[in-house]
Structure 1
């Protein structure tokens, strides 16, 4: 039979067996398995969590050294590269409770029965911050996005959370207070009643400074960290020197003992006044979640896998609209423990200690000034009261120095809050709107900066509604409103994390205490707001 020219001759012998493929090199522990070029693509690993949002991706936790680009993390490297998100939160907190509401309450009522509220609030809020940050570090999702996984779903929780947050912080009380201090610093005197508009214009000018800081940044969170390193470090150093120099030891002793001694609230103070102090000691009680986004941008844990908001000079940086978590393996369990220890250092070693110092120093100083001058601060003059009194006693140089400190304190607060208003809205719409992601071509900056100008205009109008201290008190009590629901939202989310990241049972008890403590003050605020009379007066 003639073979066909386009066919190979058929051999009777079977073809030789192919040589066995060499065994692949073992995969190092913790390294993701990467398929070869001929492998069939397998479905991506997923981790379902909650409702209404896509499942989380699954990847290994990075090593901290990988994230911060160092060979080893010692104490110096932790200060240089790891500490940061807590500084942004501390910069926000120092200008509200610590500079306005705390001094006003202590100046009017003394330390006894007020100081313990400060300590309990700071402790509860730091524990609460740990639970918020736990979710961010374990998933890379910021809280406003993670809340969308809680029943009934993102269509309720995302708009509702934004509404509560905006209602509490859109009024611009810190910018107005900083404007008052800046006017006095420029003019060499406190403004007259008919000059209040100039103070508001200066406050608006400081908001434009915040806009410029973010525009010029390579990485927005890093720019905020560096600004707060300078501001917080300077103000605590100056306040410590001034307070040690002018305040008698007996007032120091009264202040410190007031922080740790339980006592009945002073006669005449209302639960609403105490609630404002409790709400803005440390940060913002039930709304603290708005400042925890920076753990994602800093690269803590799975935040390194999700991305960050870059500035105009930083080049394009992708931010995943859906978070990523880690499989429960021995390597990941070990890495989680390392990230959790770093989180504890940042929140307890920096945030809690800084918040207590930031509250103690101004309140001790204010208590001394009230006694020495025979006057008490009012909502109208509390932003400049300390500068006025110290200037009268020690001269123009002290007046100018304390005004500068007051401006820096309140500016650091508005820096963090203004940026957070924009950041949280940007994160929310970027994660939940595919249409927006297509419109901005996956670059959040195309929404972030135009929207920042819109928020600036809204705050500029809102600053005209009331005096700075009154605006801040409204914000503080609205922060307490957040404690009625967000601790339970966190319980739902954190109980469904990979097992190594889940809280211990006593952590849930602390979250319930947040609900009871801050919720009590909010109920009193609502009653007084609608009836004009205090529900509880001591």
Structure 2
């Protein structure tokens, strides 16, 4: 059906009809149950990362130290802006079948700037491994019945063991994205149900009310909190602010829109191959306009109905539990003890059963984050290399798994070394503020690409306004983080 030129330095997109959702998911009719069973998915992978470092570490730490008012509204604004940004990233994926890291190569000046830079930024943001180190602390406490002593080696070994578990999970998969979805159905569901039950049983209603009120009350940040701490909270509320795009490639692997025509990365049990190096888009006609609207409604349901709601619950439930733990303990958490602070406080008042439940929830939260981040770094590098290097495609004989798994093992070794360099929560704050750097770059790339998509897929004018709001909100925190790093912060409270 011809070609569709988009941007610079990448081949034109192919042109084919959008598939019907029923065709992609293999069902005769897409009713409510089929939507839940088959169409919901990429949001769960994003939510598994989301309910993690921000929600279990940075959010509770900030609330535990400074209270809800003045902190909560940052959480709400961040979650709204990020969910909208996710939709715009997924729009590109659905309309072209290309993962975002590949699509960035179509933006001037071209592929040799944006693709390697994007891989570098994602790996640089997450290579510190704070998410893995914190999970290792939780496993240590679960095994030994007490938080680890300062500087202990064993939590790091547990963190490395969990990285190996991620490798084994992906290696055992037929389709890696589907395995991640199923794992997150179990983990995210268990996390939210367990947190809800524990909070209903032990957290006083006045703390519930304070938490909810804090989310919707605009107020000046509390005295004593730094903009770097707020920036870490903003960056890791919901997902990873400007770098959220690195997870949105799962919509391609799920088969959303034109992703159905471009393939996916399979596990070692899958068939391999089948991943196109150039995307495909659709013609602007009545048939495809109708199909696009159906896919877009599914995307909005997946993002706003699952991701946004889950992210808000995932921040509210742990933070009110932390606020109650601070009351019980009579002290505030520190960067060193925040991964096990709640469990230790519940142990004092409710016994060992509560201690182990809190620890198990914390380990699940942090492992779901570890799973998504570690696999995501490998996925971004694999997609970039496969799409932009004909030489690599020849070397791996068109099978991206031959790059994916060796790279994952290499990254595992590097993170194992980096884990020994700093406190877990300090590493997480570094990653979160580096994520805000992405907000100064990628909304502009999205504006360029999405304004050039086939007409039915283009955003409305107010969408661009909200993308600029992402730049201003998260960009402020990154600029302040850099100023704080090299001298004095621009803003103190």
- TM (normalized to structure 2)? 0.99
Whole-Å separation in 1 of the counterparts to 2:137 and 2:489: 30
Task: Find 1:311's aligned residue among 267, 270, 273.
Answer: 267
Secondary structure at 1:57 match in 2: strand
Mapped pair 1:452 → 2:408: yes
Secondary structure at 1:49 match in 2: coil
Structure 2 counterpart of 1:144 = 101
Structure 2 counterpart of 1:411 = 367
Whole-Å separation in 1 of the counterparts to 2:325 and 2:395: 56
Task: Find 1:389's aligned residue among 345, 351, 356.
Answer: 345
Structure 2 counterpart of 1:230 = 186
Q: Which moved more, 1:165-174 or 1:335-344?
A: 165-174
Secondary structure at 2:274 match in 1: coil
Mapped pair 1:90 → 2:57: no
Task: Find 1:488's aligned residue among 434, 441, 444.
Answer: 444
Secondary structure at 1:484 match in 2: coil
Whole-Å separation in 2 of the counterparts to 1:253 and 1:292: 34
Whole-Å separation in 2 of the counterparts to 1:337 and 1:193: 54
Equivalent runs, 1:363-442 vs 2, <5 Å? 363-442=319-398
- How far is 1:163 from its partner? 1.3
* 1:392-411 Cα distance to aligned partner (Å, 9 max, x none): 11111111111111111100
Secondary structure at 1:384 match in 2: helix
Q: CA RMSD in A?
A: 0.7
Structure 1 counterpart of 2:141 = 184
Whole-Å separation in 2 of the counterparts to 1:203 and 1:479: 22
Whole-Å separation in 2 of the counterparts to 1:193 and 1:380: 8
Mapped pair 1:537 → 2:492: yes
Whole-Å separation in 2 of the counterparts to 1:163 and 1:452: 15
* 1:206-228 Cα distance to aligned partner (Å, 9 max, x none): 00000000000010000000000
- Structure 1 outlier segments of 4+, above 3 Å: none
Structure 2 counterpart of 1:277 = 233
Whole-Å separation in 2 of the counterparts to 1:251 and 1:188: 28
Task: Find 1:328's aligned residue among 271, 284, 296.
Answer: 284
- TM (normalized to structure 1)? 0.91
- How far is 1:332 from its partner? 0.1
* 1:457-512 Cα distance to aligned partner (Å, 9 max, x none): 11111111111100000000000010001000000000000000000000000000
Secondary structure at 1:193 match in 2: coil
Kept after mapping to 1: 8 A contact 2:328/2:349: no
Equivalent runs, 1:145-160 vs 2, <5 Å? 145-160=102-117
- How far is 1:96 from its partner? 1.2
- Which ranges of structure 2 fall in alignment gaps of 5 or more residues? none
Structure 2 counterpart of 1:50 = 7
Whole-Å separation in 2 of the counterparts to 1:366 and 1:188: 19
Whole-Å separation in 1 of the counterparts to 2:443 and 2:272: 35
Structure 1 counterpart of 2:252 = 296
Secondary structure at 2:284 match in 1: coil
Mapped pair 1:109 → 2:39: no
- Which ranges of structure 1 fall in alignment gaps of 5 or more residues? 1-43
Task: Find 2:433's aligned residue among 477, 498, 508.
Answer: 477
Please tell me whether Structure 1 or Structure 2 has the larger radius of gyration of its CA atoms. Answer: 1
Kept after mapping to 1: 8 A contact 2:69/2:219: yes
Kept after mapping to 1: 8 A contact 2:329/2:345: yes
- How far is 1:534 from its partner? 2.8
Structure 2 counterpart of 1:7 = none
> Which structure has the highest helix share of the two?
2
- How far is 1:193 from its partner? 2.2
- How far is 1:155 from its partner? 0.2
Task: Find 2:467's aligned residue among 478, 498, 511.
Answer: 511
Task: Find 2:172's aligned residue among 216, 229, 237.
Answer: 216
